[in-house]
Structure 1
Amino acid sequence: MRGTARTGEQRDEGVTDVGPGLKGASSSWLRERPWLVDVVVALAVFAYNLPIQVRYVPDGLWPGTGTVVAVGLCAPYVLRQRHPLPVFGIILLTAWLQLVLGVGFIPADIMLAFALYNVAVRFQWPISAPAAAAVVLWVLLAVGPRLEEYYLSPSDLGLLVLVVVTAWTWGTTVRIRRDYVDGLKERARQLEREQESQARIVAAAERARIAREIHDIVSHSLSVVVVMAEGASLKVHSEPERAEQAMLTVRDTGRDALAEMRRMLDVLRDGEPGSRAPSPGIAQLGRLIEESRTSGLPVEMTLRGEPVEVSAGVDLVVYRVIQEALTNARKHAGPLLSKVAVRLRYGGDSLEVRVTDDGQGPGARPGSEPGGGHGLVGMRERVAAYGGKLRTGPRPGGGFEVVATLPIGGGD
């Protein structure tokens, strides 16, 4: 945060600030209870200071003055999670009062460094830098004139100043790192939102493409209906059997067209252009396989089960799924690809389409399409439109697979 404190609820879960030397204290249980660590730190410093502070209280002052000063230095620290700046102010004010009363430099004064570190972690340098300067000034005034009394040298005084600067630098570094991590997390969330938006755009574009293809199918079916109906009207008296057969064909074609319209009603759009030629399907897979082999893709196709007639929409979905899977294998499988297996399995009321390869798969190479790429999104939209299921991903033994299961039980 800039210029505001990071409260206990806003802290990063993976880091516990307990002052210099105690950062990251050990267990997740303690990370969930940072106040307990603060209490331990304050009590430990106070207990260490208690038997020592008496010798630093000047004659004429109440003997318990050092204890009161130590309480003022240690006790506020337990609230540093929620009130970092006021806690630092109270500790610093107590230290200056200690200097005014003439109480000497005591071990509890280390709480100034702890409080400064806490401020540096929570605030930007316009606040933390003056706080560090105030502590340095206090050290110089409290220790500098009494070096001989404390048996210290000027280098020892410099070392104390260095401790203060180190506490501020350490806290500032932790804050900068946290801000950086927070920025990365926000960027990740933004990218996730962008990916979701892009996925919706891709899905909408794919629905529009499916609508155009269904428009082609329906247009082709209606053309057949018109031709057969005209033929039946001409043969109804001279060749009634042929006319009846033509009308049965009209009935079946009309039912198929209505089924397609019902399935795709949610994605059909008005005014979409389309060709009246039938779309590719299972019958054209042989040509697709040959084209893939010609381009250098080692494709093998097998058929299992007894083939049955499927609707024009399912026929198209099978073709497009295999086409997209072969395209992905060509683009992303890598140079070690040695086999692509295409399998169609008819099983009663369902048709399984399985395309597997022994290559690297999407996302395994830099710049390649990840598992949620546009092509796979298109497959998923197509299969879901006909009540089917699609599974894509790496194979246990290596490579990538696309498995689509489509219902072919008929019914409109």
Structure 2
Amino acid sequence: MPKPPYRNDVFGRVMGWSGRHGRLMDALRVAPLAVFCLFMAVPYGENGPFDNGNLYVGVSGYLGLCAVLIVPLLWRRDRPLTVFTILSLACFGQWLAKIDPMPANIAVLVALYSVAFRCGFPWAIASGLVAELGVFMVIVRWQTPTFSIFFSGSILVVTVWLTGLYARTRSRYLESLEERAERAERERDQQARMAAAAERTRIARELHDVVAHNVSVMVVQADGAGYAIDSDPDQAREAVHTISKTGREALAEMRRLVGVLREEGSDGTDYTPQPGLAQLEELVRGAGVPARLRVGGPPGELPEGQQLAVYRIVQEALTNALKHGGPGVRALVELRYAGRELVVRVTDDGRGAAAPRSPDGHGLVGMRERVGMYGGEVAAGPRSGGGFEVLARLPVPDTRAA
């Protein structure tokens, strides 16, 4: 069973330390039983089943059987079924040898708890039945079989068994809460990054509109000045003055908008320039899901706008994997330069067709719009072997012909 992440407080650090040192913690837990058995060595050696008139032989036999029953408990965390099987066989051999029950036989109940806690429900049922059979065999051998005696012994076994099942259910519930909290935090951070990216895109579009408008005015005025420079110098001079004024206004507006893009916003959002292929590795590392980036083929040179389109496609695909892939999803981002074409493929091993779809999602529409601007195509959908795939193809411009 995977160990859940622990909180970053005193209790969490203690639990984290105990999780990293499981063998030591198991030894500390069985230490009281070992000490008690050691304390009872002399009485059992003198009057126990190993008594043959020699105290040394009696104590040695008693301690040997105790070691067989207690030492395997050190591995109950890693191999609970194996430990329970060993202890059950040891107790069966003890029953065949007609050796009376000892305090060390409690180790079987500890192993039963470990199986119920760490193994699947069928194994827990099987181990509980074996333990009940052991109670019945002990009663038949050393007691007068009555319903009340068998019921009393069964109560102890069932209590230990149910405690292990409850601890398993509780542990899984806490794991699910931790996982949901972490996933919600990753999605919140991802949404914040997407909002920042949308704001940068809005500012970039505003900058484009300002520059396009002012440059258009300057072109018209320059054309007019060219026609009037000989026939009407005053009109040409006015046109040149308008060009100068419009240019200064455009530069001032560009400085303002570019300054917003470069400086940190009042809410702590970093308005950096638009990302491209160079930032893909950082995007993959911080996607919130385990993801890898693979690049194949000789790289071609892409315009900044086309690099931004590739970046946004990968970002949207990883966001969908995080939101809809389910727990434990992993993703692979592949960029392959095939001649005059760039193939972008993002796959995950999540729930695929079984994943719930958001009715107001526009991710695929945005991908198609971005790719369509550059004459490419994109497809997205569940994979036949499970998971989801986003496949985009963009033409690579021939910069040598420019």
Question: With structure 2 as the length reference, what TM-score do the two structures score?
Answer: 0.53
Q: Which amino acid aligns with 2:81?
A: L
Corresponding residue of 2:120? 124
Contact 1:136-1:161 at 8 Å conserved across structures: yes
2:222 equivalent among 229, 235, 239:
229
Q: CA deviation at 1:113?
A: 1.1
Q: Which amino acid aligns with 1:104?
A: D
Change beyond 3 A, Cα 1:57–1:77: same
Change beyond 3 A, Cα 1:384–1:179: farther
1:82 equivalent among 63, 78, 81:
78
- CA distance in structure 2 between the aligned counterparts of 1:403 and 1:168, rounded to whole angstroms: 55
Contact 1:383-1:390 at 8 Å conserved across structures: no
- CA distance in structure 2 between the aligned counterparts of 1:44 and 1:219, rounded to whole angstroms: 82
SS at match of 1:221: helix
Change beyond 3 A, Cα 1:68–1:77: same
- CA distance in structure 2 between the aligned counterparts of 1:156 and 1:48, rounded to whole angstroms: 25
Corresponding residue of 1:281? none
SS at match of 1:77: helix
Change beyond 3 A, Cα 1:32–1:186: closer
Corresponding residue of 1:110? 106
Identity across the alignment (%): 30
Corresponding residue of 1:42? 30
Corresponding residue of 2:67? 71
Q: CA deviation at 1:133?
A: 1.3
Q: CA deviation at 1:128?
A: 1.2
Change beyond 3 A, Cα 1:80–1:231: same
Corresponding residue of 1:243? 236
Matches within 5 A, 1:26-65: 30=18, 32-50=20-38, 51=40, 52-54=43-45, 55-57=47-49, 63=58, 64-65=60-61
Matches within 5 A, 1:12-411: 12=4, 14=6, 30=18, 32-50=20-38, 51=40, 52-54=43-45, 55-57=47-49, 63=58, 64-147=60-143, 155=148, 157-192=150-185, 194-195=187-188, 198=191, 202=195, 205-233=198-226, 235-237=228-230, 240=233, 243-244=236-237, 246-251=239-244, 253-254=246-247, 257=250, 310-311=252-253, 314=256, 384-385=260-261, 387-392=262-267
- C-alpha deviations, 1:256-308, integer Å up to 9, x for none? 65x6xxxxxxxxxxxxxxxxxxxxxxxxxxxxxxxxxxxxxxxxxxxxxxxxx
- CA distance in structure 1 between the aligned counterparts of 2:224 and 2:125, rounded to whole angstroms: 94
Q: Which amino acid aligns with 1:311?
A: E
Contact 1:95-1:109 at 8 Å conserved across structures: yes
Contact 2:73-2:83 at 8 Å conserved across structures: yes
- CA distance in structure 2 between the aligned counterparts of 1:181 and 1:190, rounded to whole angstroms: 14
- CA distance in structure 1 between the aligned counterparts of 2:149 and 2:6, rounded to whole angstroms: 36
Question: Which deviates further from its counterpart, 107-116 or 242-251?
Answer: 242-251
Corresponding residue of 1:299? none
SS at match of 1:236: helix
Change beyond 3 A, Cα 1:246–1:117: same
- CA distance in structure 1 between the aligned counterparts of 2:196 and 2:270, rounded to whole angstroms: 19
SS at match of 1:390: coil
Choose 1 or 2 for highest CA Rg.
1
More helix by share: 2
- C-alpha deviations, 1:25-50, integer Å up to 9, x for none? x7765554332232234343133124
Contact 2:116-2:165 at 8 Å conserved across structures: yes
Contact 1:391-1:403 at 8 Å conserved across structures: no
- CA distance in structure 2 between the aligned counterparts of 1:383 and 1:193, rounded to whole angstroms: 29
Unaligned runs of 5+ in 2: 272-402
Runs of at least 4 residues of structure 1 off by over 6 A?
58-62
Contact 1:53-1:67 at 8 Å conserved across structures: no
Contact 2:225-2:237 at 8 Å conserved across structures: yes
Q: CA deviation at 1:215?
A: 3.4
Q: CA deviation at 1:101?
A: 0.9
Q: CA deviation at 1:103?
A: 1.0
- CA distance in structure 2 between the aligned counterparts of 1:188 and 1:27, rounded to whole angstroms: 19
SS at match of 2:30: helix
- C-alpha deviations, 1:354-377, integer Å up to 9, x for none? xxxxxxxxxxxxxxxxxxxxxxxx
Unaligned runs of 5+ in 1: 1-5, 16-23, 260-309, 318-381, 394-401, 405-412
